[in-house]
Protein backbone atom coordinates (compact mmCIF):
# COMPACT_ATOMS: atom_id res chain seq x y z
CA UNK A 1 0.00 0.00 0.00
CA UNK A 2 2.87 2.37 0.86
CA UNK A 3 4.49 1.81 -2.54
CA UNK A 4 1.15 2.40 -4.22
CA UNK A 5 0.83 5.80 -2.50
CA UNK A 6 4.32 6.75 -3.62
CA UNK A 7 3.40 5.79 -7.15
CA UNK A 8 0.30 8.01 -7.08
CA UNK A 9 2.34 10.87 -5.56
CA UNK A 10 4.86 10.68 -8.40
CA UNK A 11 2.09 10.77 -11.02
CA UNK A 12 0.51 13.76 -9.26
CA UNK A 13 3.83 15.62 -9.29
CA UNK A 14 4.22 14.95 -13.01
CA UNK A 15 0.70 16.16 -13.80
CA UNK A 16 1.12 19.25 -11.62
CA UNK A 17 4.36 20.24 -13.32
CA UNK A 18 2.78 19.74 -16.73
CA UNK A 19 -0.29 21.85 -15.84
CA UNK A 20 1.89 24.61 -14.37
CA UNK A 21 3.91 24.80 -17.56
CA UNK A 22 0.74 24.80 -19.71
CA UNK A 23 -0.67 27.65 -17.64
CA UNK A 24 2.35 29.81 -18.43
CA UNK A 25 2.30 29.35 -22.21
CA UNK A 26 -1.38 29.16 -23.19
CA UNK A 27 -3.05 32.23 -24.68
CA UNK A 28 -6.50 33.50 -23.64
CA UNK A 29 -7.00 31.21 -20.66
CA UNK A 30 -10.05 33.19 -19.58
CA UNK A 31 -11.69 33.04 -23.04
CA UNK A 32 -14.40 30.63 -21.91
CA UNK A 33 -15.57 33.20 -19.35
CA UNK A 34 -15.29 36.22 -21.67
CA UNK A 35 -18.43 38.17 -22.49
CA UNK A 36 -18.23 39.54 -26.03
CA UNK A 37 -20.63 42.32 -25.11
CA UNK A 38 -18.09 43.73 -22.65
CA UNK A 39 -15.18 43.86 -25.08
CA UNK A 40 -14.67 47.43 -26.31
CA UNK A 41 -11.78 47.56 -28.75
CA UNK A 42 -9.81 50.80 -29.11
CA UNK A 43 -9.81 52.73 -32.38
CA UNK A 44 -8.14 50.69 -35.13
CA UNK A 45 -7.33 53.62 -37.38
CA UNK A 46 -3.73 54.61 -37.99
CA UNK A 47 -3.47 58.40 -38.07
CA UNK A 48 -0.69 60.16 -39.90
CA UNK A 49 2.02 62.03 -38.01
CA UNK A 50 4.87 64.34 -38.80
CA UNK A 51 7.80 62.55 -40.46
CA UNK A 52 5.44 59.98 -41.99
CA UNK A 53 5.96 59.36 -45.68
CA UNK A 54 3.05 58.67 -48.04
CA UNK A 55 2.29 58.55 -51.73
CA UNK A 56 -0.78 60.24 -53.17
CA UNK A 57 -1.72 59.29 -56.72
CA UNK A 58 -4.51 61.03 -58.61
CA UNK A 59 -6.14 59.45 -61.65
CA UNK A 60 -8.87 60.76 -63.96
CA UNK A 61 -10.08 60.39 -67.53
CA UNK A 62 -7.89 63.21 -68.81
CA UNK A 63 -4.23 62.04 -68.99
CA UNK A 64 -2.95 65.62 -68.96
CA UNK A 65 -4.77 66.38 -65.73
CA UNK A 66 -3.49 63.15 -64.25
CA UNK A 67 0.07 64.25 -64.91
CA UNK A 68 -0.62 67.69 -63.49
CA UNK A 69 -1.70 66.42 -60.07
CA UNK A 70 0.96 63.75 -59.59
CA UNK A 71 4.56 64.13 -58.60
CA UNK A 72 7.09 62.91 -61.17
CA UNK A 73 9.33 59.98 -60.29
CA UNK A 74 12.16 62.42 -59.58
CA UNK A 75 10.79 65.58 -58.05
CA UNK A 76 12.17 68.91 -56.89
CA UNK A 77 9.04 69.46 -54.85
CA UNK A 78 9.71 70.54 -51.26
CA UNK A 79 8.69 67.78 -48.90
CA UNK A 80 8.75 65.09 -51.59
CA UNK A 81 11.03 62.12 -51.86
CA UNK A 82 11.31 58.98 -53.95
CA UNK A 83 10.58 55.63 -52.32
CA UNK A 84 11.54 52.24 -53.73
CA UNK A 85 9.66 50.32 -51.02
CA UNK A 86 6.14 51.23 -51.99
CA UNK A 87 3.52 48.51 -52.04
CA UNK A 88 2.01 48.66 -55.52
CA UNK A 89 3.63 52.02 -56.29
CA UNK A 90 7.32 51.20 -56.75
CA UNK A 91 9.32 54.28 -57.61
CA UNK A 92 6.46 56.74 -57.02
CA UNK A 93 7.49 60.02 -55.43
CA UNK A 94 6.29 60.45 -51.88
CA UNK A 95 5.38 63.28 -49.55
CA UNK A 96 6.95 63.67 -46.13
CA UNK A 97 4.64 65.35 -43.62
CA UNK A 98 6.47 68.36 -42.20
CA UNK A 99 6.63 69.52 -38.57
CA UNK A 100 3.43 71.53 -39.04
CA UNK A 101 1.57 68.47 -40.30
CA UNK A 102 1.45 69.71 -43.90
CA UNK A 103 2.45 68.59 -47.38
CA UNK A 104 2.93 70.71 -50.50
CA UNK A 105 0.60 69.26 -53.12
CA UNK A 106 0.80 70.13 -56.84
CA UNK A 107 -1.62 72.95 -57.79
CA UNK A 108 -3.55 72.62 -54.51
CA UNK A 109 -0.62 73.95 -52.47
CA UNK A 110 -0.34 73.38 -48.72
CA UNK A 111 -2.60 70.66 -47.33
CA UNK A 112 -2.81 69.81 -43.63
CA UNK A 113 -3.09 66.03 -43.31
CA UNK A 114 -1.48 65.16 -39.95
CA UNK A 115 -4.00 63.43 -37.71
CA UNK A 116 -5.99 62.08 -40.63
CA UNK A 117 -6.41 58.44 -41.59
CA UNK A 118 -5.51 57.21 -45.04
CA UNK A 119 -9.17 57.18 -46.09
CA UNK A 120 -9.66 60.70 -44.77
CA UNK A 121 -6.68 61.95 -46.80
CA UNK A 122 -8.14 60.35 -49.93
CA UNK A 123 -11.52 61.99 -49.32
CA UNK A 124 -9.90 65.34 -48.46
CA UNK A 125 -7.76 65.53 -51.62
CA UNK A 126 -10.68 64.39 -53.77
CA UNK A 127 -12.94 67.03 -52.22
CA UNK A 128 -10.37 69.78 -52.80
CA UNK A 129 -9.95 68.84 -56.45
CA UNK A 130 -13.70 68.84 -57.07
CA UNK A 131 -14.55 71.93 -55.00
CA UNK A 132 -11.94 73.99 -56.86
CA UNK A 133 -13.31 72.80 -60.22
CA UNK A 134 -9.98 71.26 -61.13
CA UNK A 135 -11.11 67.67 -61.73
CA UNK A 136 -14.63 66.31 -61.99
CA UNK A 137 -13.89 62.60 -61.70
CA UNK A 138 -10.74 62.13 -59.59
CA UNK A 139 -9.72 58.77 -58.16
CA UNK A 140 -7.27 59.31 -55.31
CA UNK A 141 -5.08 56.54 -53.93
CA UNK A 142 -3.02 56.96 -50.76
CA UNK A 143 -0.34 54.45 -49.68
CA UNK A 144 1.98 54.30 -46.70
CA UNK A 145 5.68 54.44 -47.53
CA UNK A 146 7.68 54.27 -44.29
CA UNK A 147 5.29 53.20 -41.55
CA UNK A 148 6.73 50.40 -39.43
CA UNK A 149 6.62 48.69 -36.05
CA UNK A 150 9.32 46.66 -34.30
CA UNK A 151 9.20 43.33 -32.47
CA UNK A 152 12.05 42.45 -30.11
CA UNK A 153 12.87 39.84 -27.49
CA UNK A 154 11.68 36.26 -27.28
CA UNK A 155 10.07 35.86 -30.71
CA UNK A 156 11.20 33.64 -33.55
CA UNK A 157 11.82 36.46 -36.05
CA UNK A 158 12.56 39.80 -34.34
CA UNK A 159 12.88 42.87 -36.53
CA UNK A 160 11.06 45.78 -38.17
CA UNK A 161 7.87 45.17 -40.13
CA UNK A 162 6.11 47.44 -42.61
CA UNK A 163 2.55 48.65 -42.07
CA UNK A 164 0.66 48.29 -45.34
CA UNK A 165 -2.92 48.11 -44.07
CA UNK A 166 -5.11 50.55 -42.16
CA UNK A 167 -4.92 48.52 -38.97
CA UNK A 168 -2.49 46.05 -37.42
CA UNK A 169 -3.28 44.24 -34.19
CA UNK A 170 -0.80 43.17 -31.53
CA UNK A 171 -1.70 39.56 -32.29
CA UNK A 172 -0.97 40.03 -36.00
CA UNK A 173 2.37 41.64 -35.18
CA UNK A 174 3.43 38.73 -32.95
CA UNK A 175 2.23 36.25 -35.56
CA UNK A 176 4.25 38.00 -38.28
CA UNK A 177 7.31 37.75 -36.05
CA UNK A 178 6.84 33.99 -35.84
CA UNK A 179 5.02 34.03 -32.47
CA UNK A 180 6.65 34.08 -29.07
CA UNK A 181 9.13 31.34 -28.30
CA UNK A 182 8.50 28.90 -25.49
CA UNK A 183 10.77 31.12 -23.39
CA UNK A 184 8.72 34.29 -23.88
CA UNK A 185 6.89 35.67 -20.84
CA UNK A 186 3.30 35.81 -22.05
CA UNK A 187 1.97 37.50 -18.93
CA UNK A 188 4.01 40.67 -19.42
CA UNK A 189 4.39 41.67 -23.09
CA UNK A 190 5.56 45.29 -23.27
CA UNK A 191 4.59 47.83 -25.94
CA UNK A 192 6.44 51.17 -26.12
CA UNK A 193 4.64 54.01 -27.87
CA UNK A 194 5.77 57.59 -28.48
CA UNK A 195 3.14 60.31 -28.58
CA UNK A 196 3.14 63.39 -30.81
CA UNK A 197 5.31 65.27 -28.28
CA UNK A 198 7.93 62.56 -28.21
CA UNK A 199 6.96 61.19 -24.79
CA UNK A 200 7.31 57.42 -24.57
CA UNK A 201 4.47 55.53 -22.90
CA UNK A 202 4.78 51.94 -21.72
CA UNK A 203 1.91 49.44 -21.87
CA UNK A 204 1.94 45.90 -20.52
CA UNK A 205 -0.34 43.18 -21.85
CA UNK A 206 -1.09 39.76 -20.37
CA UNK A 207 -1.46 37.52 -23.42
CA UNK A 208 -2.93 34.74 -21.27
CA UNK A 209 -5.99 36.95 -20.65
CA UNK A 210 -8.33 37.84 -23.50
CA UNK A 211 -9.66 40.78 -21.48
CA UNK A 212 -6.17 42.18 -21.02
CA UNK A 213 -5.46 41.89 -24.75
CA UNK A 214 -8.70 43.25 -26.19
CA UNK A 215 -9.09 46.06 -23.65
CA UNK A 216 -5.54 47.29 -24.07
CA UNK A 217 -4.98 50.65 -25.83
CA UNK A 218 -2.24 48.91 -27.82
CA UNK A 219 -4.45 46.13 -29.19
CA UNK A 220 -4.25 48.09 -32.43
CA UNK A 221 -0.71 49.24 -33.16
CA UNK A 222 0.47 52.65 -34.32
CA UNK A 223 3.46 53.47 -36.48
CA UNK A 224 6.80 53.20 -34.66
CA UNK A 225 5.38 51.04 -31.85
CA UNK A 226 7.95 48.73 -30.29
CA UNK A 227 6.88 45.34 -28.94
CA UNK A 228 9.19 43.64 -26.45
CA UNK A 229 8.68 40.06 -25.26
CA UNK A 230 10.50 39.57 -21.99
CA UNK A 231 12.32 36.25 -21.44
CA UNK A 232 11.15 33.94 -18.68
CA UNK A 233 13.32 33.44 -15.60
CA UNK A 234 14.30 30.06 -16.99
CA UNK A 235 15.56 31.66 -20.19
CA UNK A 236 17.38 34.35 -18.24
CA UNK A 237 19.14 31.69 -16.16
CA UNK A 238 20.09 29.73 -19.24
CA UNK A 239 21.84 32.79 -20.63
CA UNK A 240 24.28 32.76 -17.71
CA UNK A 241 27.14 30.32 -17.20
CA UNK A 242 25.85 29.22 -13.76
CA UNK A 243 22.13 28.91 -14.35
CA UNK A 244 20.07 27.33 -11.58
CA UNK A 245 18.75 24.18 -13.23
CA UNK A 246 16.95 23.12 -10.03
CA UNK A 247 14.42 25.94 -10.47
CA UNK A 248 13.65 24.91 -14.04
CA UNK A 249 10.22 23.32 -14.72
CA UNK A 250 11.84 20.94 -17.20
CA UNK A 251 14.14 19.70 -14.43
CA UNK A 252 11.23 18.81 -12.17
CA UNK A 253 9.25 17.23 -15.00
CA UNK A 254 12.23 15.04 -15.83
CA UNK A 255 12.72 14.24 -12.15
CA UNK A 256 9.06 13.29 -11.66
CA UNK A 257 9.21 11.12 -14.78
CA UNK A 258 12.35 9.37 -13.52
CA UNK A 259 10.77 8.77 -10.09
CA UNK A 260 7.67 7.32 -11.72
CA UNK A 261 9.77 4.98 -13.83
CA UNK A 262 11.83 3.94 -10.80
CA UNK A 263 8.75 3.19 -8.67
CA UNK A 264 7.18 1.21 -11.52
CA UNK A 265 10.36 -0.87 -11.80
CA UNK A 266 10.44 -1.50 -8.03
CA UNK A 267 6.80 -2.59 -7.98
CA UNK A 268 7.37 -4.89 -10.93
CA UNK A 269 10.38 -6.53 -9.19
CA UNK A 270 8.40 -6.98 -5.97
CA UNK A 271 5.54 -8.63 -7.85
CA UNK A 272 7.92 -11.06 -9.53
CA UNK A 273 9.63 -12.01 -6.25
CA UNK A 274 6.37 -12.85 -4.52
Could you report the per-residue pLDDT of 197-252, keeping only the tens digit for each? 778 999 999 999 988 898 899 999 999 999 999 998 776 666 654 455 555 566 66
The count of residues in the chain is 274
Instruction: Provide the Cα torsion 119, 122, 128, 130; round to 10°.
Output: -110
**Alpha helical stretches, state H, 187-248:** 210-214, 233-238
| Predicted TM-score (pTM) above 0.85 | no
Q: Which of 71-80, 211-220, 265-274 has the highest mean pLDDT?
A: 211-220
Could you report the per-residue pLDDT of 18-28, keeping only the tens digit for each? 444 445 667 87
How many CA atoms lie within 13 Å of 82's alpha carbon, on the beta-carbon side?
Answer: 8
Specify the range with the lowest mean pLDDT, choosing from 67-71, 111-115, 174-178.
67-71
Average pLDDT over residues 147-151: 97
Quote the CA–CA distance of 220 and 222 in Å, as a whole number.
Answer: 7
- The confidence score (pLDDT) of residue 232 equals 85
Cα–Cα nearest to 205, from 219, 193, 195 = 219
CB contact at 8 A, 255 and 180: no
Could you report the per-residue pLDDT of 155-177, keeping only the tens digit for each? 999 999 999 999 999 999 999 99
Beta-strand pair 226-229/189-194? antiparallel
Could you report the per-residue pLDDT of 122-133, keeping only the tens digit for each? 999 999 999 999
Amino acid sequence: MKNYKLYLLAIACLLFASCATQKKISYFQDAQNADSAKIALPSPEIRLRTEDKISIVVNCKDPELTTLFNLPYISNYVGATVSSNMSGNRGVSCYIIDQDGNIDFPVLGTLHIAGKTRNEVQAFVKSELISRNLVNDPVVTVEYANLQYSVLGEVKAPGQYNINSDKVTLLEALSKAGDMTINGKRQNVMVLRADSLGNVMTYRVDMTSIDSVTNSPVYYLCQNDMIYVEPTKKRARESTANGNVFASPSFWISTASAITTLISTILLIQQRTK
